[in-house]
Structure 1
Amino acid sequence: MPHLALLDGSNLAFRAYFATRHLGMKRPDGMPVGALHNYLQMVWSTLERLDPSHAAVAFDPEGGSKARTALLPQYKQNRLAMEDDLRRQWPHLIEANAALGLPLLCVDGFEADDVIATLTRQARARGWRVSIVSGDKDLMQLVGEGVRQIDPAGGKEYDAEGVRARWGVPPAQIRALLALAGDSSDNIPGVEGIGPKTAAALLAEYGTLEGVLAAADGLKQKKRRERLLAQADRARTAWRLVGLDDAVPLPRTLDELARRPPDRAALGALLDRFQLRRLAHRFGVGGAATVARSDQADGARSDRLVADRAALDALCAALEQAELIAVDCETDSLACRSADLVGLSFAVQAGEGWYLPLGHRDAEGALLPGQLDRGEALARLAPLLEDGGRAKCGHNLKFDRQVLRRAGIELAGVRYDSLLLAYLLDPGGQPPKLDYVAERYLGHRCIPFEEVVGKGRNQRSFDRVAIDRALPYAAEDAEVAWRLCRRLRDELVEQGRLARHDAIELPLSGVLAEMEWHGVALDVALLARLSDRFGARIARLEREIRQTAGSEINIHSPRQLGVLLFERLGLPGGKRTKSGQWSTTQEVLEQLAPLHEVVRLILEVRSISKLKSTYCDALPRQIDRESGRLHTSYNQAVTSTGRLSSSEPNLQNIPIRTAEGREIRRAFVAPPGRLLISADYSQIELRLMAHLSGDAGLIDAFRAGADIHRATAAAIHGVADAAVDGGMRRAAKAINFGIIYGISAFGLARQLGITRKAAAAFIDAWFARYPRVRDYMEACKERARRDGFVETIKGHRIPLPGIHDRNAMRRQYAERLAINGPLQGSAADLIKMAMIRLHDALARRFPEARLLLQVHDELLIEAPEGQADGVARLAREVMESVEELSVPLVVDLGSGRDWLAAHAL
């Protein structure tokens, strides 16, 4: 059966542009190339995946739809003019389709959606399958038997059931749903007060738009009834606007859309002209774009096995002569603190990788033949690996540093880490795993790990893999990392952003490796006592809940809980999920808590249960058997803002606002003869807001050492500082921190338990007191709209791909991040720099002291008891002087036998 792929070219082009806008991809002469790069990649991947027999791409004509504009002059008038960078690339996007062998259809007076609708009708009449590639919801009305829609953003496919799951109506009712709810992205007004969910409910009952309008007079809800009656003509106009014209006069027949191979000469010339070398390599096209470079493999890779002394001599000679050495460890586990070294791979040039097997074993655990003596081999390599004058590189060397340390080698001379380089090029993008980064930047597909070790029950650890099978995988890891480091380094140099890698991220990686290696001591007996205490508390609370509810109930069952709250107790505001059950999320329960005692009890059970399972019961099981300490793993290349996170276990989310949460911190202890020191930046994001906004009121308050929350309360209420009571200060604190995160009057009202009007008045008074903050916020949003990203004080880019999104919620989220991102990210800058400098200072002045943990704006240090005061003074000195701001940086200090005692509250 023929298969027709229809690509919504206009939709794909805009998505391609905004997805890469923040990366600032340009030729050396300044010509933007990001949209072209991403468009080619999306179209190529789509055609490769779908493999259709016929294909076409449809574009909107200049001037759009004449019929729709005549019907509603303001149709699509809300859209911003095409940005200059996209406008400059547009002719080349059109050219790209011809080079890809893709027929382009653009019919004057008709939108791409209408062209796609016409081709879909024609294809289905001949029994063809149709795949529509677009993120446009209007096209979902075409989905049905033999027709699916694919969203290029995530590759999600929609059949009729998928459309129903997404919108609550079948494809046949999408047009009516949009007529009732309107479409803000196209500036089509629907009926006021009716959104997609309400529209879906009305259509489920009355079937069609006319059915809904005919039944409007009998609806119980007064406002809904009045609006439907008054705005019926508006809905009918919207119906005509969102409908698709499937009778467009097309310049080509279906048969003329038969798939053609790419014009390789034209495609190669296009990629060469725009210097899109990665794509040229991936597409396998000729031209100067594929000429071998120092970071490209020229032909097949040569894998060299180091299985005897002669091969080891050759490897050492190659390493001694190399300008840059890529190193990678193969292990039997990803827990680097306890992983055994199975082999080492190296690369010193493109196209060649070396593998030294050291710990491959047979099924009985005996070492396989063909491996050098581990001690002898490592003794030969140690001087080279520990030589700080020999440049090293790799991918995620934080892991390899610790594996090598366990093997008795201190890796030195690290110059580049491709994980960090890739992260800096696209923070907030896909996790920069080696296989993804290699395919994206080199056009190289790595050997899948599961292809080597197996899947599911048949999966084995790497030490049980045959050497000949391990060789190409391990050698590839090092060779690809070597090429990536050079390629990504060059890209950051072109953008003028390599300094971030060299001065902050790479040194920090070494500090984090040290922190992970040392770990922190736990009082396991205390955690066991807390677990028993929390368990007894949970049991008592559950009995109270049953007594209050009047019957047996499993509060851990969302279904039973929903029935109790919204049916038996009749609490208001209940909403059902897509499965039909009542929603009992944390947010829902917090809104209901003031209305009934049972809700407060349920929230308390949930909170204590999480503490018990996540910390009291789980942490002891994660203690390393060799060190007897807990070793978390820091994630340096995850968050778009540059904030660190931790995992296995996650120590960033230990609650400190409740007494029970604070008790968990008592279990983090110092060994005998040592103390823990807590050094915590005070109100760092508010201080950064003062610095970045330049607001005189905030700056003066911080310079005077004032209690900023009390000063804010006094200013808002027009009273002296001494007249501010506890409630006024709490409200001011909520506003101060809420402003940073874009809190609304509704959110503040709920947080403080006041009316929305009062909350709005508080916010207005706050901005009247600190007017430059509002100016700063607007400037952040404007900068984000212009550049597609914002930056921290040390130049970390925070991408905002949703800043021009048609979806209001995604766009508003991006606007909030445009404001808060530089504050969060700049706070991350400061603490990262402080960690690097404090680590070095401790090594010089207090070598027995160690950085243990970083949690938000706090550093936890362990030191000999007699040195604790000196270490604390050093921490304050380093942290408060790490960067000169317009306001002082202040660090709160504390020390004690455990983390709770040390933490300055």
Structure 2
Amino acid sequence: MTDAPIESAARPLSQDGPPPRLWLIDASAYIFRAYHALPPLTRKSDGLPVGAVQGYCNMLWKLIRDMKGEDGPTHLVAVFDHSEKTFRNTLYDQYKAHRPPAPEDLVPQFPLVREATAAFGVHGVELAGYEADDLIATYACKVRDMGGEAVIVSSDKDLMQLIGDGVVMYDPMKDKRLDEEAVFEKFGVTPDKVVEVQALIGDSVDNVPGAPGIGPKTAAQLIHEYGDLDTLLARAGEIKQPKRRETLIAFADQIRLSRELVRLTCDAPAPEPVDDFLIRDPDPAVLSEFLERMEFRSLLRRVGDGKAPQKEGSAFARQPSAPVATPRYGQTEVATPDQVHDFDRDKYECVQTLEDLDRWIARARAAGVIGFDTETDALSATHAGLCGVSIAVGPNEACYIPLTHDHEPSGDASLSGGFDFGLEPAQGEVREPLTQIDKPTALERLKTLLEDPAVLKVGQNIKYDLAVMARRGIRVSPIEDTMLISYVLEGGLHGHGMDDLARLHLGHETIPFKSVAGTGKSQKSFKHVELKPATCYAAEDADVTLRLYRLLKPRLATERLTTVYETLERGMPAVLADMELNGVRVDPDRLRSLSSTFGQRMAELEEQAHKLAGRPFNVGSPRQIGEILFGEMNLPGGKKTASGQWGTEASVLEELALTHDLPRAILDWRQLSKLKGTYTDALVAASDPTTHRVHTSYQLAAATTGRLASSDPNLQNIPIRTETGRLIRQAFIASPGHVLISADYSQIELRLLAHIGDIPELKRAFKAGLDIHAATASEMFGVPVEGMPSETRRRAKAINFGIVYGISAFGLAAQLGIDQGEAAAYIKTYFERFPGIRAYMDKTKTFVKEHGFVTTVFGRRIHIPAIHSKSGAERQFGERAAINAPIQGAAADIIRRAMIRMPAALAEAGLKTRMLLQVHDELIFEAPEAEAERALVVVRKIMEGAADPAVALSVPLVVEAKAAANWDQAH
């Protein structure tokens, strides 16, 4: 496992798990609610008003206690108002002018509330010039756009405009989630229209003027009738009611101003990244001290301070004599008393002599199972320098072996991040000189241990460490990976990064990377970190990893998942490490030429777009595009997002492009911009300047279904069917004297659907080698395969690929360009002709509702937490995910089985062919020209037989494989 890279301050959750689920506490609302709900209270010792603080603490503690479970957050933040003056006061100097000043006895409690927030382990943020609601909107939009979920902890009606896909509200007082239905009940419109209704009705509390005399019901009625506020104001003269008509005409500018005042911005400068809001338990000592100082002794007894009695299952119960409670996920194993040891970093040892290294190697051999980790100076395993190695043989029995540290003579105590590393020498004290073992000598000694078949090396994301050590001539084996064990046990429930797992299973907060290396511009390479903090950080990683292994590994047997781990996961780190080290060659000159061509074409499209719009604008600005298309050109179908700007996503522009030239020019510009930035420019930058090879990094535990993810750079999303995508693939080339082989499973998910759903008609078609889409069309529409119109086949193909993803009549209609009624009829016919598919779907939905997970035919367990969500929309998403997961997951399992077997099969055949890339259902190899034909035979055999002997598929797997000079020609 790698420490965080020099460019990144922490180990981000998102690399190993799903997108974040961020809860945003409307802290300012909490404060006022607490103040008004409770009678005045003063601290007995000095008369300080503390009623609001006590109420706030009670509310915050209840939220922390209640938010555990599968729907709980991965990230949590409290958002405060910074000051009374914001950008809205610039727009309208009377904004909130009528609000009375804060009560005199509340003012001194504001800083105490912020202190309370920190004491409970909750991050707090605020931003000058913006209201808390704007920060909430900004972070909610960020998380939504990341594919995660934002839960706004508030009942404030002003925040309801944000509700939609990926954003809900939660009223903790009523223990109720507020979704789109709640918004409609409150305002009579959907969330995207809330701003327009508020602009009409105004807000007397905030002194937003609105339209005099127009109330909520009338406002909702008007917006429903005219579609949006701009249309309403433009057509106000048509309104029959004289008073209403005159009001809208006379106060049009005031109404527009009101819209700007009530609209929340999603573009506020976020003061901190979302990753900083990762859930953490409070420091019991800090919390106890704060509650004691406030004299909240009743709350102190309920929360627990390590001395007072603690509620069973408390998140703060971390006594060695008691089980460690699961922080968020109810299905997680809890550590038993004999497995829990307090972490004592003072016991970690820095190994600086050969004698000490030999002693630790002897201890490791005696232990037989060790925690193992490497520390490097960069993220890329293929180019990072090795700073040192850490080993653990038992709880608190861990060491760090520095190899290439080169720190400056003066430390920086500010980097301790709350951990006392003793970085600063006493006044007048001379710092001891840096002592390290000679690197080649140390690696020679370590090689005997790390390659010893009698010693099991346990890592966390050990693929990285395997690649790092392989570059230094050490083939680490045998290995286990705690990340992958967790992934097999609880895939879909939470992230599988070490920090998450340590917090989840051990109740331990690991040392953040930024506390030893700093952040931002002051961040330094790990090799420049002083040896004492470096030892604490690195040895802790190995210690945590070994503890996790001892806790999680036995569960594989008790939960009957050992075979899944052994056959689908354990062999993958070594295979992928070799693939990453191999890399794939690119032609930098061709890529630069493509970048130039794309840039010229983008300039032409930009000029064309300006002419079509009648004025210049920023083609890369969604806001300006929306204003032109819907505000100036009045094109149909415009809808505004929660941030108040027009939606200009691809689906909107695609529909407009059917009848208008400007949206098509914008779409073409966007496509070229993405290809240029993401691929042609980025691949040149990412390629090794000497070898011209690109080394991607694969994530094994990124998708719940078992699919791999690729990053730095991502080579799995290069367009396949477009001409420009093909041009990029042509830049992936073989080395001189070699060819690239592309081996791709043909329609593997449809084949697995036929097997898993036991669909006789599809099975017969696949066994006969028929065109499956033509065969489906023939079954559905009674049309002979011979001479079938291409449009008929296209419709069957759309249903085939969409049906297992839960495609709706609306989605199919949009895809085929037909009305929803016709699309619904197609889907109905499909299920009638293939009843086994409906039976499979119904059976799967029943199973997942009962068990909370589904399985693939190879036994992989995929948890679907959304199936038990309180939100109907989330439950429907969970049903669709449950139907698709066994099929996509089985496809992922099959290619994993093939990849694990492939290196040995190629070697046994005496071939030098190397596996370079995996792109979902496709494997890419590089082979010497002379052995290409033999390699094709071996590759097809391994891939087509990958399911055997575990599962006897009732349909054949077919692999299309071809050798050529570049990736495009081989595909």
TM-score by length of 1: 0.75
Matches within 5 A, 1:696-715: 696-715=760-779
- How far 1:587 sits from its partner (Å)? 2.1
Separation in structure 1 between the aligned mates of residue 944 and residue 335 of structure 2, nearest angstrom: 51
- Is contact 2:371–2:459 with CA below 8 Å preserved after alignment? yes
Q: Which range is displaced more, 490-499 or 397-406?
A: 490-499
Separation in structure 1 between the aligned mates of residue 222 and residue 392 of structure 2, nearest angstrom: 77
- How far 1:530 sits from its partner (Å)? 1.3
Separation in structure 2 between the aligned mates of residue 215 and residue 827 of structure 1, nearest angstrom: 52
Separation in structure 1 between the aligned mates of residue 511 and residue 186 of structure 2, nearest angstrom: 54
Change (3 A) 1:688 1:192: farther
> Of 209, 215, 220, which residue of structure 2 is paired with 1:211?
215
Separation in structure 2 between the aligned mates of residue 895 and residue 439 of structure 1, nearest angstrom: 48
Change (3 A) 1:487 1:590: same
- Is contact 2:657–2:664 with CA below 8 Å preserved after alignment? yes
The one-letter code of the counterpart of 2:964 is: G
The one-letter code of the counterpart of 2:486 is: A
Tell me the secondary structure at the aligned position of residue 374 of structure 2.
strand
- How far 1:446 sits from its partner (Å)? 1.5
- Is contact 2:323–2:336 with CA below 8 Å preserved after alignment? no
Q: Could you list the per-position Cα deviations for residues 804-852 of structure 1 after superposition, in whole angstroms to 9, with x for gaps in the alignment?
A: 3232322221111011111111110011001111122112224411110
The one-letter code of the counterpart of 2:970 is: A
Higher relative contact order (CA 8 A, sep 6+): 2
- Counterpart of 2:434 in structure 1 is 369
Matches within 5 A, 1:186-201: 190=185, 194-198=189-193, 201=196
Matched, 1:390 2:458: no
Change (3 A) 1:532 1:203: closer
- Is contact 1:350–1:483 with CA below 8 Å preserved after alignment? yes
Matched, 1:721 2:721: no
Separation in structure 2 between the aligned mates of residue 333 and residue 418 of structure 1, nearest angstrom: 22
- Is contact 2:371–2:391 with CA below 8 Å preserved after alignment? yes
- Counterpart of 1:67 in structure 2 is none
Matched, 1:898 2:966: yes
Separation in structure 1 between the aligned mates of residue 839 and residue 335 of structure 2, nearest angstrom: 49
Matched, 1:221 2:225: yes
- Counterpart of 1:672 in structure 2 is 736
Matched, 1:421 2:485: yes
Separation in structure 2 between the aligned mates of residue 858 and residue 185 of structure 1, nearest angstrom: 44
Separation in structure 2 between the aligned mates of residue 776 and residue 283 of structure 1, nearest angstrom: 38
- Is contact 1:185–1:807 with CA below 8 Å preserved after alignment? no
- Is contact 2:70–2:493 with CA below 8 Å preserved after alignment? no
The one-letter code of the counterpart of 1:357 is: P
- How far 1:16 sits from its partner (Å)? 4.1
- How far 1:126 sits from its partner (Å)? 14
- Counterpart of 1:633 in structure 2 is 697
- Counterpart of 2:347 in structure 1 is 302
Matched, 1:600 2:664: yes
- Counterpart of 1:737 in structure 2 is 801
- How far 1:258 sits from its partner (Å)? 5.1
- Counterpart of 1:202 in structure 2 is 197
Matched, 1:779 2:843: yes
Q: Which range is displaced more, 426-435 or 513-522?
A: 426-435
> Of 373, 386, 389, which residue of structure 2 is paired with 1:328?
373
- How far 1:322 sits from its partner (Å)? 1.7
Separation in structure 1 between the aligned mates of residue 763 and residue 722 of structure 2, nearest angstrom: 32
Separation in structure 2 between the aligned mates of residue 279 and residue 834 of structure 1, nearest angstrom: 46
The one-letter code of the counterpart of 1:307 is: Q
Tell me the secondary structure at the aligned position of residue 802 of structure 1.
helix
Matched, 1:356 2:401: yes
- Counterpart of 1:532 in structure 2 is 596
Separation in structure 2 between the aligned mates of residue 547 and residue 388 of structure 1, nearest angstrom: 70
The one-letter code of the counterpart of 1:470 is: A
- How far 1:654 sits from its partner (Å)? 0.2
Matches within 5 A, 1:383-532: 383-414=448-479, 416-532=480-596
Give unmatched runs, 5+ long, in structure 2: 1-49, 80-104, 121-130, 141-147, 204-212, 233-294, 327-333, 411-431
- Is contact 1:167–1:200 with CA below 8 Å preserved after alignment? no
Separation in structure 2 between the aligned mates of residue 383 and residue 426 of structure 1, nearest angstrom: 35
Q: Could you list the per-position Cα deviations for residues 784-822 of structure 1 after superposition, in whole angstroms to 9, with x for gaps in the alignment?
A: 111111111222222211113232322221111011111
Tell me the secondary structure at the aligned position of residue 344 of structure 1.
strand
Separation in structure 2 between the aligned mates of residue 510 and residue 6 of structure 1, nearest angstrom: 50
Separation in structure 1 between the aligned mates of residue 200 and residue 313 of structure 2, nearest angstrom: 54
Change (3 A) 1:222 1:15: same
Change (3 A) 1:126 1:552: closer
Give identity over the alignment, percent.
39
Separation in structure 2 between the aligned mates of residue 582 and residue 620 of structure 1, nearest angstrom: 35
Matched, 1:347 2:388: no
Q: Which range is displaced more, 785-794 or 425-434?
A: 425-434
TM-score by length of 2: 0.71
Change (3 A) 1:301 1:828: farther
Separation in structure 2 between the aligned mates of residue 322 and residue 566 of structure 1, nearest angstrom: 70
Tell me the secondary structure at the aligned position of residue 634 of structure 1.
strand
The one-letter code of the counterpart of 1:811 is: R
Matched, 1:848 2:912: yes
- How far 1:619 sits from its partner (Å)? 0.3
Give unmatched runs, 5+ long, in structure 1: 21-37, 51-122, 134-142, 226-253
Q: Which range is displaced more, 530-539 or 676-685?
A: 530-539
Q: Could you list the per-position Cα deviations for residues 853-890 of structure 1 after superposition, in whole angstroms to 9, with x for gaps in the alignment?
A: 00010000111111111111111111111112111111
- Is contact 2:320–2:342 with CA below 8 Å preserved after alignment? no
> Of 824, 828, 831, which residue of structure 2 is paired with 1:764?
828
> Of 610, 616, 621, which residue of structure 1 is paired with 2:685?
621
How many residues get paired? 754
Separation in structure 2 between the aligned mates of residue 255 and residue 839 of structure 1, nearest angstrom: 64
- Is contact 2:301–2:308 with CA below 8 Å preserved after alignment? no
> Of 137, 141, 162, which residue of structure 2 is paired with 1:166?
162
Separation in structure 1 between the aligned mates of residue 226 and residue 531 of structure 2, nearest angstrom: 76
- Is contact 1:793–1:822 with CA below 8 Å preserved after alignment? yes
Separation in structure 2 between the aligned mates of residue 735 and residue 155 of structure 1, nearest angstrom: 34
- Is contact 2:197–2:219 with CA below 8 Å preserved after alignment? no
The one-letter code of the counterpart of 2:909 is: R
Tell me the secondary structure at the aligned position of residue 650 of structure 1.
coil
Separation in structure 1 between the aligned mates of residue 222 and residue 695 of structure 2, nearest angstrom: 65
- Is contact 1:278–1:442 with CA below 8 Å preserved after alignment? no
- How far 1:432 sits from its partner (Å)? 2.1
- Counterpart of 1:58 in structure 2 is none
- Counterpart of 2:900 in structure 1 is 836
Tell me the secondary structure at the aligned position of residue 693 of structure 2.
coil
Separation in structure 2 between the aligned mates of residue 645 and residue 623 of structure 1, nearest angstrom: 19
- Is contact 2:184–2:191 with CA below 8 Å preserved after alignment? no
Cα-Cα RMSD: 4.2
Change (3 A) 1:174 1:456: closer
